[in-house]
A = this chain, B = another copy of it.
Amino acid sequence: MAIDKRVKSAGDALADVADGATVFISGFGGAGFPNLLIRALREQGTKRLTLVVNSATHRYSLTHELIEAGQVSKVICSAARGAGKDLSPFETLLKAGKIELTCLPQGTFAEAIRAGGAGIPAFYTPVGVGTDLTRGKEVRRFGERDYVLEPAIQGDLALVRADTADQYGNLTFRYAQANFGPVMATAARLAVAEVRAISDQPIPHTQAQLPGIYIDRVVLAAE
């Protein structure tokens, strides 16, 4: 049967997500947040999620809705500080010990996800050596410098925002919209993309930025 990854709705795309899933969420600085899918995940009501998301508190991302709804038991991120002096819902949960947090340097976060999709179980990096964020991790010298061993991150589901898709799941991204989306798709067992437009024709190989084999389902996100 001809490969066709288009599904009717975000709800359909996420119907089989299970409690306890590890979920990647793309987006950075206002670009590439899969807010249609995040909203669908909230409505779906899945519990005890581990979110792997660069920022747990970015104001343009609906990630906070999942957290406020009590669906999240753990967050892996590089940023979890709410704006202003008052505590954000995330910070309140964190203070109350109701949510677990792993904070990683952003490049380690990205590389660990890339490793998760690339069959690399762990890699050494100079980033974070001698800091609180690598406390307890293995440090090893190569040449004249110390490096820390960082494990790969893999997940059950990736929610990715892109610009266009075709039936094969090939994706294009606008400007800085890609950010973590491509590596997240590679590291997840199931990857779902929401896009501005779905092309009737295959996206030419000169334009595709992520091979469709990394994407399992595509949903149109009406603007």
Q: A206-B207, A207-B206 are in contact. Are A121 and B124 (CB under 8 A)?
A: yes
A143 to B122, CA, bound (A): 11
A60 at interface (Cβ–Cβ under 8 A)?
no
CB distance from A211 to the nearest CB of B (A): 14
Q: List B contacts of A125 (CB < 8 A).
A: 119-120
Cβ contacts under 8 Å, A147 to chain B: 121-122
A114-137: contact bitstring with B at CB < 8 Å (1 yes, 0 no)?
Answer: 010011111111110000000000
- For residue A115, give the distance in angstroms from its CB to the closest CB of chain B: 8
Question: What residues on B are CB-neighbors of A120 within 8 Å?
Answer: 111, 123-125
Give the CA-CA distance A205 to B123 in the complex, in Å: 30
Number of interface residues of A (CB under 8 A): 21
A127 to chain B, nearest CB (A): 8
Given A206-B207, A207-B206, verify A123-B126 contact (CB < 8 Å): no
Which residue of chain B has the shortest Cβ distance to A122 in the bound complex? B124
Q: 15 A-B residue contacts at CB 8 Å? A: A111-B120, A115-B123, A119-B127, A120-B123, A120-B124, A120-B125, A121-B126, A121-B143, A121-B145, A122-B123, A122-B124, A122-B142, A122-B147, A123-B124, A142-B151
A111-B120, A123-B123 given; name 4 further pairs at CB < 8 Å. Answer: A111-B118, A120-B123, A122-B123, A122-B124
10 interchain residue pairs of minimum CB distance: A121-B142, A123-B123, A122-B124, A120-B123, A121-B124, A121-B147, A122-B142, A120-B125, A119-B126, A120-B124
